[in-house]
Amino acid sequence: MIFVPYPRVKNSKTIAVFSVYAPALVSLAPDLKKAYRNYRANKGSPAVVLPLNYAQAGKVSPAQKTELDKLYASTYKKLKENHRHLDWAYDLRKADNLPYCPMCGNTGRDALDHYLPKADYPEFAVLSFNLVPTCTSCNSKRSNSANAPRSPLPLIHPYFDGRRLSSPLVVVVIDPDKGTTPPTYLMPSFRLVPAIAPTDGLFARLANHLDKCVDDTQLRRWLTGRWKLWRLKAPDYSTLAELRKAIDRELQAEIDVGGMNNWTAAFLRGLLVSPSVLQWMMKHPPS
Ligand SMILES: [Zn+2]
């Protein structure tokens, strides 16, 4: 859910050197070029972009699929001098300039994900637009279950949904301890939910995205840490307005560094819209 500019890569160059290192793919080159253009024109939407093998059974042969898998596997390491055409994918996986996972908003990232799964779409195995840096937990949660061909609700695309990703899309709801009146927050629970109206055209896609991409265990672990931190800080403020100002300042810094929709930003937004939670925190320093 975090915008990332797509890697500046000449995909046509990747195709152009197939004759040298992937001869099995040479006959597929014209179809790949067309498929790449189609992907870009339709922002990778699985509702519109269908696998080559759907349009024509056997278009990508088993041998060609194996070859494409091998090319992708080679991006795990820096390639030898004559195979440097895929080093960008290696760099994309290794780059540590993203403090949060672009797909789920979790802290850190150390995997590459095929936005359109390569099991269904082998033709996009090494297409730059289709390779998105992600964290390992959401990558394994999605597996091949998301963005299946004809899926009417494409996941949010960090490269192509940029404009919307610069506005607040998610917020953390902080639920009190079960059955407490008035509510207490000794061990609250956290839910990451859409911060946009159900009438918004993006709502259904976003809800599906959260369902498919957010690892609830990771989310709880990360937010429990943020929660403990603010429970320690809150009693130091004498008025609700001062506490809110401090949270807002941190929110702005967090957005600057990690984008509008990372988990910490969503949590801080959740605090700002919950004065009763803040008032409870101010009055109940952790023992
Ligand atoms: Zn993630």
- State how far the Cα of 97 lies from the Cα of 38, in Å rounded to an integer: 30
Cα(223) to centroid(ligand 1), Å: 15
Phi-psi region of 172 (alpha: psi -120 to 50; beta: other; left: phi over 0): beta
Cα(1) to ligand 1 centroid in Å equals: 9
Say how many Å lie between the CA of residue 99 and the centre of ligand 1.
11
Cα of 174 from ligand 1 centre, angstroms? 21
Domain boundaries, the chain: 11-156, 167-283
160-185 per-position pLDDT tens digit: 998 899 999 999 999 999 999 999 99
Cα–Cα distance measured from residue 1 to residue 165, given in angstroms and rounded to the nearest whole number: 6
pLDDT in tens, 190-225: 999 999 999 999 999 999 999 999 999 999 999 999
CA of 228 to the centre of ligand 1 (A): 23
The reported pTM is 0.92
Distance (angstroms) between ligand 1 centre and the Cα of 142 equals: 10
Query: What's the 143 CA to ligand 1 centre distance in angstroms?
Result: 12
Ligand 1 geometric centre to CA of 104 (Å): 4
pLDDT of residue 145: 78
CB 146 within 8 A of CB 116: no
- Ligand 1 centre and the CA of 264: distance in Å? 14
pLDDT at residue number 82: 60
Query: From ligand 1's centre to the CA of 63, what distance in Å?
Result: 32
Å from CA of 139 to ligand 1 middle: 6
Among 8, 267, 213, which Cα is nearest to 102's? Answer: 213
CA of 4 to the centre of ligand 1 (A): 13
Residue 181 DSSP class: S
- Compute the distance from residue 156 Cα to the ligand 1 centre, in Å: 12
Distance between CA atoms of 151 and 155, rounded to whole angstroms? 9
pLDDT at 255 (0 to 100): 95
Ligand 1 mean position to 260 CA, how many Å? 15
Task: Return per-residue pLDDT of the chain as tens, 287 residues.
Answer: 899 888 889 999 889 888 888 899 999 999 999 999 999 999 999 999 999 999 899 999 999 999 999 999 988 877 666 667 788 888 888 766 788 999 999 987 788 999 999 999 999 999 999 999 999 999 988 877 799 999 999 999 999 998 899 999 999 999 999 999 999 999 999 999 999 999 999 999 999 999 999 999 999 999 999 999 999 999 999 999 999 999 999 999 999 999 999 999 999 999 999 999 999 999 999 98
Q: Residue 136 C-alpha to ligand 1 middle, in angstroms?
A: 7
Q: Distance from the CA of 134 to the center of ligand 1, in angstroms?
A: 5
pLDDT at 107: 86
Contact yes or no for 125/69 (Cβ under 8 A): yes
How crowded is the C-beta side of 171, counted as CA atoms within 13 Å? 15
